[in-house]
Amino acid sequence: MELPPALRQAVDQALHGVALADLKRAADILSRRYRGEVRDGRLHLSDRLAAQAYLATRLPATYAAIRASLAAITDVRPDFAPATLLDIGAGPGSALWAARDCWESLEEATLVETSDAIRKVGADLATHAAPTRVSWVPGNIETGLPELPRADVVTLAYVLDELPPVLIGRVTDQLWALTCDTLVVVEPGTPAGWRRILEVRGRLIAAGAHLVAPCPHQAECPIAAPDWCHFSRRVARSRLHRLAKNAEVPWEDEKYIFIAASRTPGESPAARVLSPPQSASGTVRLKLCRHDGSAAERLVSKREGTAFKTARRLDWGDAVWRDLG
Ligand SMILES: C[S@@+](CC[C@H](N)C(=O)[O-])C[C@H]1O[C@@H](n2cnc3c(N)ncnc32)[C@H](O)[C@@H]1O
C-alpha cells in the first residue's frame, strides 16, 4: 500500500531539510520505545524530531493498517457514508487521511492529541487534506478529555499500547459514548495488541454494540493463546524511510489487529480468513473464523467447483460472503 499522493507530498515537504543522522537517531529511539511498549510517563512523540521520525518511519504503516481496517468496514457496510470523524491520540492525523481516502462523504474531523510537537506536525499536514474541515484539540484521554462533539466514526489507532492497561475499559466506554455510529480501535498485531483488542471487544458487546469487523460473530473469541488474531499489510518504504531505518528492502509488512463496532445492526459475512491461504495443486487451505463462533482450517479442493473458485480468490483478512461449508 502506498500513501495517497497528497499525503506523500505533505510528508516529503515536512521532512525537507531534516538532517539524516538526527532522523536516524530519533527513529532508533522511537522504534526501541515502541517495541518495548515503554510506559515511563514520557510521550514517545514529545519533541519535533521524534514527530518527524514518526512521519518518516511509522506513519506509512499506521496509515496502511487504519486504511485496511476501514476497508473492512466498507466491505461489510458499503452504504455507510459518515460525515464526521473524531480521532483520539491522532498523532500526525493518520486516521484523518485514511478516513478521507475511504469515505468521500467525510466533511468534518476533530483530532485530539496530547503532544504539542506531533499536533503541530499533523496540523501542517492536514492543511493538504481539503475539503474535510479539521479541528485539532489538545487533550489527554488519561487525565480527562475536554468537551468533544460526538461523531459518526470514532477512531483510536495505536494508542492503547501507550496507556496504562487498567484504563482500557474506561477509555472504551468513553469513546463508545462519543460514537454516533461506528467505533474503530486499531493496535499493533502482536499477542499483547490482540489481548487489548479482546478487552475492548468484550466491553463493546456488553454495551450492546454490533461488531462489524473483523469478527463475523459476537460469541466468545475462538482463538486461544499462544495463537492470536492479526492481519498484515505490505507497505511501500520511501527512500528516506529506508535510510532512516538502515533498511534495504523497499517495503515492510505491518501486522495489525482492530475491532470495529456499530450502533447499527448489519449483515455478517459467513467467515473471515485468519491467515495467508495455502495453495497447492488442486487445493486451498484456509484458516477461517466462522459466523457460528468457531475457528478452524478448511481444505477446499478443486472438486468442489464454485467453493474452490471462491477460495482461490481469498486473501488473509478477507470476509467470506459465501458459506464454504
Ligand atoms: C503511536 S501514536 C499513533 C498516532 C496515530 N493514531 C497513528 O495511528 O498513526 C500514539 C499517539 O497517541 C498519543 N497519546 C499517547 N497518550 C495519549 C493520551 N493519554 N491522550 C491523548 N493522546 C495520547 C501520542 O502522543 C501519539 O501521538
Output the pLDDT for position 66: 98
Portions of the chain given CATH number 3.40.50.150: 5-262
- Closest to 17 in 3D by CA, of 56, 61, 44, 57: 56
C-beta 115 within 6 A of ligand 1? yes
Please give the Cα distance from 259 to 65 (Å, whole number). Answer: 12
User: 89 CA distance to ligand 1 centroid (A)?
Assistant: 3
Identify whether 222 is preceded by a cis peptide bond (ω within 30 of 0).
no
Q: List phi, psi (to 5°) of 54.
A: -65, -45
The pTM is what?
Answer: 0.96
User: 32 CA distance to ligand 1 centroid (A)?
Assistant: 16
Looking at the chain, the number of H-run helices and the number of E-run strands are: 10, 13
Please give the Cα distance from 135 to 73 (Å, whole number). Answer: 24
Fold of 5-262: Rossmann fold (3.40.50)
C-beta 142 within 6 A of ligand 1? yes
| β-bridge mates for residue 233, sequence order | 254
Q: How confident is the model over 22-58, as pLDDT tens digits?
A: 888 888 888 888 888 887 778 788 788 889 999 999 9
Output the pLDDT for position 111: 98
Q: List phi, psi (to 5°) of 106.
A: -65, 120
Side-chain-facing half-sphere of 139: CA atoms under 13 Å: 17
The residue whose CA is least distant from atom 1 of ligand 1 is 158
Output the pLDDT for position 247: 85
Output the pLDDT for position 104: 96
Collect contacts of 21-25 with beta carbons under 8 A, ≥24 apart: 22/49, 23/49, 23/52, 23/53, 23/56, 23/240, 23/243, 23/244, 24/243, 24/244, 24/245, 24/246
- Calculate Rg over the CA atoms of the chain: 20
Question: What is residue 220's three-state secondary structure?
Answer: coil
User: 150 CA distance to ligand 1 centroid (A)?
Assistant: 19
**Residue segments in the chain with a per-residue pLDDT below the cut of 50:** none
Q: How confident is the model over 190-226, as pLDDT tens digits?
A: 999 999 999 999 999 999 999 999 999 999 999 999 9
Output the pLDDT for position 304: 93
